[in-house]
Amino acid sequence: MKKIVQLFAVLILIASCKTEEKKENIVLVKPTLFHEKMIEHKGQIVDVRTPEEYKEGHIKNAMNIHLYDKDFKDRLTQLDKDERVYVYCKVGGRSASAVEIMKANGFTNIVELDGGMDAWLDAKKPIEQ
């Protein structure tokens, strides 16, 4: 009887975790998978670096919404919360902060580039200038 109760508790725990996964799809991925996901599932690409960093090279079709601009949260309203958002910075710190802000503002489908633009370039992925 005790094993049945334990099994039932584990099944409830698993079911509740799966429900949570469906509500929030926020993932941190390496450059190759980030690139594959962008090709496979179109979405909005957000570069949260400074405008100067953005001009030095960015991922194709990325919009520059600098994390530390006063209007960062206002500019997020330009994005579709129901559409996937790909977000990156230089090494990952700013994008992690941006993801937290986005989550707090109702975004639930976010793919973050692990290692940022530095990792992207190390992986020899394409950029635009």
Long-range pairs of 35-38 with CB within 8 A, sequence gap ≥ 24:
35/123, 35/125, 37/86, 37/111, 38/86
Active site residues: 89
What is the rounded average pLDDT of the residues 51-57? Answer: 97
Question: Whole-prediction pTM value?
Answer: 0.80
What is the rounded average pLDDT of the residues 45-69? Answer: 97
What is the rounded average pLDDT of the residues 61-66? Answer: 97
**What whole-number distance in Å separates Cα of residue 123 and Cα of residue 71?**
32
Q: Which range is least confidently modeled, 15-19, 84-88, 120-124?
A: 15-19
Phi, psi of 45 (to 5 degrees): -110, 125
The full length of the chain comes to 129
Complete domains list, the chain, with CATH: 25-122 (3.40.250.10)
